[in-house]
Amino acid sequence: MVLINLKNISKKFGAKDTEVTALRDVSIEINEGEIIAIVGTSGSGKSTLLNIIGTLDRQTTGEYILKNKNLDELNEHDLAKLRNKSFGFVVQNFALINDYTVYENIEIPLVYGKVKSSERRKIINQVLTKLDIQEKINKKPTELSGGQCQRVAIARAIVNDPQIILADEPTGALDKKTGEQVMKIFKALNKEGKTIIIVTHDPRIASQCNRIINIEDGMIKKD
Ligand SMILES: Nc1ncnc2c1ncn2[C@@H]1O[C@H](COP(=O)(O)OP(=O)(O)OP(=O)(O)O)[C@@H](O)[C@H]1O
Ligand SMILES: [Mg+2]
């Protein structure tokens, strides 16, 4: 089943003399259950594409159809609800809140999703166990290693049980071995049915995906 359908997407930033075209006429269909790498040189438009897929940004022209729904028809409020429900985000520098404990960081999407406190505890414990960071539950991110931080970030990304996981350079701040462990987690989540899209510069990560989309100068060069 086609989950994500991008039709002739273009994205421009800035106005007139400062205008930058980040994406040009990009069309992609992504099926449920795929694990995809997006590769390309710096500035080629990878993050812009991922942000549009994750509804963090909107395209300038073209259509985005997610699960047979045209997203252009949604207002900001409905889009935010859909985003919290459908997508889990993982980024290079983890984007954890340093003043919060591991537990509190992972709790954020559940609070936003209005899940009851008792229910939250149950779900968070399950996710912590799954990612093998149970013993770090009361630690702050500053007390953890990079690999542990990324596991917390992945826990936060999946705690709402989203259908789609979007990761922008998830192994970029990690050494080779730790990056490989993070990739193992993504592959396991994919086996469970999650659709996963990973922006990466690392050919070792890309080669483990079932599809590689190469973007250059805002265009799909190879898919
Ligand atoms: N908010 C913005 N305002 C203006 N220009 C932007 C903005 N975001 C991205 N761009 C421009 O759009 C182009 C694509 O940027 P993007 O961040 O998508 O590249 P990227 O492939 O993710 O690069 P990298 O590998 O370095 O992360 C670049 O020319 C960039 O300067
Ligand atoms: Mg980028």
Ligand 2 centroid – CA 42 distance (Å): 7
**CATH 1.20.1260.10 is right for the domain spanning 34-57+85-222:** no
Three-state secondary structure call for residue 43: coil
DSSP 65: E
Q: What are the C-alpha distances in Å from 90 to residues 8, 96, 121, 139?
A: 26, 10, 22, 20
**Confidence grade of residue 195 (pLDDT, cut at 50, 70, 90):** very high
The rounded distance, in Å, linking the Cα atoms of 4 and 71 is: 11
Name the closest-CA residue to atom 6, ligand 1.
Answer: 13
**pLDDT beyond 90 at 180:** yes
To test ligand 1's pocket by mutation, which of 24, 44, 49, 217 has the most ligand atoms within 8 angstroms of CB?
Answer: 44
Comparing CA positions, the residue from 119, 210, 192, 114 lying closest to residue 154 is 192
Strand-pair partners of 134 = none
Residue 16 predicted with pLDDT over 90: no
What single letter denotes the amino acid at residue 127?
A: V
Evaluate whether 39 touches 22 at the Cβ level (below 8 Å): no
d(CA 46, CA 41): 9
Residue 22 Cβ < 6 Å to ligand 1 = yes
pLDDT value for 37 = 98
- The per-residue pLDDT for range 24-35, each reduced to its tens digit, is 999 999 999 999
The stretch 179-198 carries a mean pLDDT of: 97
Give pLDDT, residue 199. 98
pLDDT at 202 over 90: yes
Classify the phi-psi angles of 181: left when phi > 0, otherwise alpha if psi is within -120 to 50, otherwise beta: alpha
User: What mean pLDDT is reported for the chain?
Assistant: 96
The domain ranges of the chain are 34-57+85-222
Residues 140-158: tens digit of each pLDDT: 999 999 999 999 999 999 9
